[in-house]
Every structure is written in C-alpha cells, then in structure tokens.
Chains A and B, each alone.
Chain A
Amino acid sequence: RKEVEQDPGPFNVPEGATVAFNCTYSNSASQSFFWYRQDCRKEPKLLMSVYSSGNEDGRFTAQLNRASQYISLLIRDSKLSDSATYLCVVNIGGYSTLTFGKGTMLLVSP
C-alpha cells in the first residue's frame, strides 16, 4: 500500500467553482500534515499546514481525520491562478522526513 495516496486528476473546473481534493495516508504514527502547491517546472511551495481541528486560510480549507487517516483540501471560488498540482505531505516524525503524495492536478478554466 502506498504511503500517501492522491487522485492524480486532472480536475477540470470553471472559474468560481468549489473543488475538493482528498488524500489518504497509511502510517498511523504520522504527526504533521501539509498541503503544498507546485506550479509547472517550479519547486513545491507550502500552501498550508493541516491541523486536527481543521483550518482555513481565505478560500482554502484543510481538514484532518486521524481515525480514517484522511486529509482534505477545499478550494472555494476557484481562480485561474489556482491551476497547479497540489501535493499532500505527511511527516511521521524524526528529522522532519516528509512523505509526499504524487499530487493532484487542478485546471481552472475561464
């Protein structure tokens, strides 16, 4: 079983749509969770950390379900500039070694 699994997409949505990405992880000892955004041919950049109580940053909402080992990212009112690949990332602790999902591609069209 893969450690961090994501639907690769692509998700094609119109501007203004709401879109949700899901991610599952296999290691129940995982300690911290993140969503990264990666534009084509660029480095990954931190979008937001994911906290147990859920957290929101503007149009972005992240949720964590430890019992189901499941993380989600919700994007409201999609913009063209949201087009990117979104990486689900998990830290099982110790030297901050991260495990990356392969990413979900989002394409927002006019």
Chain B
Amino acid sequence: DVKVTQSSRYLVKRTGEKVFLECVQDMDHENMFWYRQDPGLGLRLIYFSYDVKMKEKGDIPEGYSVSREKKERFSLILESASTNQTSMYLCATPGEGTDQPQHFGDGTRLSIL
C-alpha cells in the first residue's frame, strides 16, 4: 500500500508568516501533487512535480511555491501567509502509469489568523 505522510494534521499560523507543509511518500514515485480543498470549490491543484527539482504550476499557484530536493519529499511553501490561504491542504502521489489513481495523505488543516 502507498503511504503518503503529511507533517501536520492541524496548523495555525499568523498572517505574513512563511509556512512550510511537508509531504513524504514511501513508494519511490516520480509524481507528487499539492491540492487545496475548500467548501463549494472542491479540490484545486496548486503545484505538482514529476521529478526531483522539477515543478509545474497547477491551477492556483499564486502565493505558493514548492520544493522537491529529494524524490520522496515534496514541500509546499506559503511565502507570506494570508487569511485566504486558510484551507485543507492535501498531498497526493499516483501509481505508475496514466491510468493509476492518486493516493492522498491525511491532509493538513491550515488556519491563518
């Protein structure tokens, strides 16, 4: 079974802080994804990475950056947190092949005060 681990289940930060959300997968997968999920808006793709040091913008990259220094770890960075970034953040990695589903971490519920 694929294991995707997110560093925190719940996080509270202040406006303007730099926030790091960490995600680790144990399956040596190349692709990793960061989503946010908000009521009424569903899951939206922020960034994804298809290899170490490679990244691609998703649908809503503004205000975020990512880091992929090692294959198993994909970090999401809020450069200067704002209240509209309060959300549930989900990391995911798919199996190999385009017909494979994605496996999600438990999610991080982030509140920006």
Residues of A within 8 A of B (CB): 31-32, 34, 36, 41-46, 49, 87, 89, 91, 93-98, 100-103
The closest CB in chain A to the CB of B41 belongs to A102
Closest 8 CB pairs of A and B: A102-B42, A96-B94, A43-B104, A32-B99, A100-B43, A46-B101, A43-B107, A34-B101
Total interface residues on B, CB under 8 Å, equals 26
Chain B: minimal CB distance from A45 (Å): 7
Whole-angstrom distance between the alpha carbons of A36 and B94 in the complex?
Answer: 14
Q: Is B76 an interface residue (CB 8 A)?
A: no
Count contacts between A and B, CB distance < 8 Å: 56
Residues from 17 to 47 in B contacting A, C-beta threshold 8 Å: 31, 33, 40-43, 45
Residues of A within 8 A of B109 (CB): 41
Minimum CB–CB distance from A88 to chain B (whole Å) comes to: 10
Contact B42 A96 (CB under 8 A): no
Which residues of chain A are within 8 angstroms of B48 by Cβ–Cβ distance? 95, 97
Please tell me if B100 contacts chain A, counting CB pairs below 8 Å. Answer: yes
Contacts of A100 in B (CB 8 A): 42-43
Q: Would you call A45 and B94 a contact (CB within 8 A)? A: no
Measured CB to CB, the nearest residue on chain A to B58 is A97
Chain A's nearest CB lies how many Å from the CB of B78? 20
Task: List, sorted by A's number, 13 A–B pairs whose CB atoms are closer than 8 Å.
Answer: A36-B101, A43-B106, A44-B43, A45-B104, A46-B101, A91-B99, A95-B31, A95-B48, A97-B45, A98-B102, A100-B42, A100-B43, A102-B41
